[in-house]
Amino acid sequence: MLWLDDLDRFLLPGGLDQGMLSALLEQRVVVMATMRSEVYGNYSERALRGMDAEVASVRRLGSRVLNLIEPLVLDRQWSETEMGRLRAHLANPKFDNRLADAAHHHGVHGIAEYLAAGPKLLEEFLTTRRQPKGHPRGAALVQAAIDLARAGISTPLPAETLLELSTCYLSAGDASRLQAESPEQALVWATETQFGVAGMLVATDTTEAWRPFDYLVDAVASAVEATAIPDEVWEAAVTHANGGSELLPVGRSAFRFGRLALAERCFSPLAARGNHVAMHDLGFVQRERRPEHTWPSWYRTVSETGTPLQARALGALHEVEGRWDEAAACYERAAGQGDALAMRLRGVIAQRHRQDDEAHKWYVRAAEGGDAVAIAFFNGPGIYRPERGHELGSETWDPNVEWDEEDEEPWQMTARTSRILSCNLEILADMAHDELTELGDQPVSSNSFGIFFALLPASTWNQPRNWRRRVLRALDDLNEDITLGRSPQPRCTAEELALHFALESASAMTCDEPDLVAEFTQGLPEQQGDYDWDVCSDLLFQDHDVLFLYDPMMQGLEHPNNPLNQRMGIGDLRPEGWFEEFCNVPPRDPSRGFTH
């Protein structure tokens, strides 16, 4: 294959012509090329008619070549289909960090623009001020725009403002080079479109006003040693705050940078005008600046008249500081306005205080309101237990009669127990396979009703199809253990949860469908311990830590850096860690395929 980047460079006399292209095609060479749309337009018949005769004669040679090819137009902005594929890719635990960064920060620019031009523009911006014939004033203009964006300004920035602030970034050593670079030249350099995409400063709908290319802002802000924003720039940000509409983001940026006095200056006028968001933020700032004056009046006002989100946030702050009654009151206020998360958090408070009935009531309300964690709480697997006197099992075995432990052989599942568990693993796998075909990469939602994947913890609901297929394989792997005459031994978190669901399903079958159980176990002898699912649950697992994922009170425990996780030695329960095999069990064959 022959790849010609910027094809126009090859459409010159002595370059690619009709004869050469035909020769390449006869040799079965695939020829691919790229060309920017504005350059491609220069070879159209309409464009050629308006050109100088000599230039048109040269370009007509290239036009004849272009007439032989099949163009594929690639839009600067990705289509909804392409964005959908990007979202599916980012749902994969092994996503490309560059694509993730572009997806989150590309702003008004397309993903392709962000990826193609961003690194090049950043490289030139970082090196130009150090070069002997660089552009120190131009780089200072760009730095001023970047820092104003970091300070919370997103509206167009007048060139006059940028020129005034550029002096903050110029050193005495720049003086000699500044004589050769006028303000006008600096602005031209900073705004010049490069790589056919954009300049470091991007034009806006406002005349003589600019904004920085998003990639530059993100790169500078995420640098390990991000530079401080000068005082003059902070003051300019407050002044520029567009009649007050940007005071809130400027104040929040100031708070993040530890500029508490400046943040208070931004929030105060908005709070005085009744802005509940500003009241909420002002309360945090005042509390940080003057900790001896806890819970300023702004908090009380927001708590009583603010939005559900603000009431919930205040409840969380009360909870952090151990004021449980105040936290409960805030959550109830937010819940009264339909905030499902507040309902769940209110249930957590009740659960912490061992008020189980109260907690259950709030979790029901949260689940009905669509809270994913609360919904999953009611999906956690457990063991079904029959009414006394209706147990299936050996008629000759009384579970209440003790036997001599010295005569006891090592425990293993009985033949009938193994058969029923195997049947339920197979049933679940078949159902999960059908569900996987229908669900694909779509996320599970609070309205999803499924046999298997919708019953997994809420933290897994956004996982892609290939992740779900590996969970399906966990069911098959456990069933393979039984087929080989062994008790199922979970090797990873996915297999642990798969076995929990299989035990739940098997125990339900022995409780509710005795005729079906008899059909499945026909010909197998009765034995002591048939269908003792509680014993199976105790002995087939190393621990039941995976079930913490269903507990609303334990949210966050799945992360290995969580202090409680580390204290309990739980390990990584995040979805991306579900298939890491435990180090104290024999590994499965990595070359095994998929049964389903």
Question: Residue 396: what pLDDT?
Answer: 40
Q: How do beta strands 157-158 and 31-33 pair?
A: unpaired
| Neighbouring C-beta atoms of residue 396, cutoff 10 Å | 8
Question: Residue 406: what pLDDT?
Answer: 52
Average pLDDT over residues 56-79: 79
More confident residue, 145 or 83: 145
**d(C-alpha 432, C-alpha 409), whole Å:** 36
The CATH number assigned to the domain holding 328 equals: 1.25.40.10
More confident residue, 449 or 294: 449
Pair 343, 417 in one domain: no
* Average pLDDT score over the chain: 84
Pair 348, 495 in one domain: no
**Sorting pLDDT into bands at 50, 70 and 90, what band is 130?**
low
Helix (H, G, I), strand (E, B), or coil: what is residue 313? helix
Lowest mean pLDDT among 113-117, 172-176, 335-339: 172-176
Pair 199, 151 in one domain: yes
Is residue 241 scored above 90 in pLDDT? no
Q: Is residue 591 part of a domain?
A: no
**Sorting pLDDT into bands at 50, 70 and 90, what band is 516?**
very high
**d(C-alpha 114, C-alpha 105), whole Å:** 8
The residue from 66, 95, 113 where one domain ends is: 66
More confident residue, 181 or 382: 382
**d(C-alpha 409, C-alpha 412), whole Å:** 9
Question: Residue 10: what pLDDT?
Answer: 84
Question: Residue 403: what pLDDT?
Answer: 47
Average pLDDT over residues 200-221: 85
Q: Is residue 389 part of a domain?
A: no
Q: Is residue 496 part of a domain?
A: yes
Pair 99, 229 in one domain: yes
Question: pLDDT tens digit string along 159-175?
Answer: 999 999 998 888 766 66
Is residue 501 scored above 90 in pLDDT? yes
Total structural domains in the chain? 4
**Sorting pLDDT into bands at 50, 70 and 90, what band is 395?**
very low
Burial string for 465-501 (b: 16+ CB within 10 Å, else e) reads bebbebbbbbbbbbbbbbeeeebbbbbbbbbbbbbbb
> Which residues, in sequence order, are bridge partners of residue 3?
32
Q: Residues 6 or more apart from 55 whose CB is under 8 A from it?
A: none
Question: pLDDT tens digit string along 254-313?
Answer: 999 999 999 989 988 887 776 777 877 887 787 777 765 555 566 666 666 667 877 887
Q: Is residue 435 part of a domain?
A: yes
Q: Residue 196's domain spans which residues?
A: 80-240
Pair 354, 490 in one domain: no
- State which of 151-155, 269-273, 476-480, 583-587 shows the largest mean pLDDT: 476-480
Q: Is residue 71 part of a domain?
A: no
Helix (H, G, I), strand (E, B), or coil: what is residue 42? coil
Is residue 330 scored above 60 in pLDDT? yes
User: Which candidate, 449, 446, 492, 448, places its Cα nearest to that of 467?
Assistant: 492
The residue from 240, 273, 296 where one domain ends is: 240
Pair 50, 86 in one domain: no
Q: Residues 6 or more apart from 421 whose CB is under 8 A from it?
A: 413, 482, 488, 502, 503, 506, 536
The residue from 11, 32, 66 where one domain ends is: 66
Is residue 389 scored above 90 in pLDDT? no
**Cβ atoms 450, 444 nearer than 8 A:** yes
Is residue 46 scored above 90 in pLDDT? no
Question: Residue 344: what pLDDT?
Answer: 94
Pair 443, 551 in one domain: yes
**Cβ atoms 522, 423 nearer than 8 A:** no
Pair 356, 455 in one domain: no
Average pLDDT over residues 406-413: 71
Question: Which pair of tokens denotes residue 114?
Answer: 């962000």
Q: Is residue 204 part of a domain?
A: yes
Question: Residue 394: what pLDDT?
Answer: 46
Pair 455, 372 in one domain: no
**What are the strands of the beta sheet with 201-203, ordered from one edge?**
157-158, 209-212, 201-203
Question: Which pair of tokens denotes residue 61?
Answer: 């040679």
Pair 233, 86 in one domain: yes
Average pLDDT over residues 37-44: 78
Q: Is residue 393 part of a domain?
A: no
Q: Is residue 138 part of a domain?
A: yes
Helix (H, G, I), strand (E, B), or coil: what is residue 543? coil
Pair 44, 188 in one domain: no
Question: Residue 449: what pLDDT?
Answer: 65
Pair 54, 112 in one domain: no
Burial string for 307-346 (b: 16+ CB within 10 Å, else e) reads ebbbbbbbbebbbeeeeeebbbbbbbbbbeeebbbbbbbb
Question: pLDDT tens digit string along 338-384?
Answer: 999 999 999 999 999 999 899 999 999 999 998 999 998 998 999 98
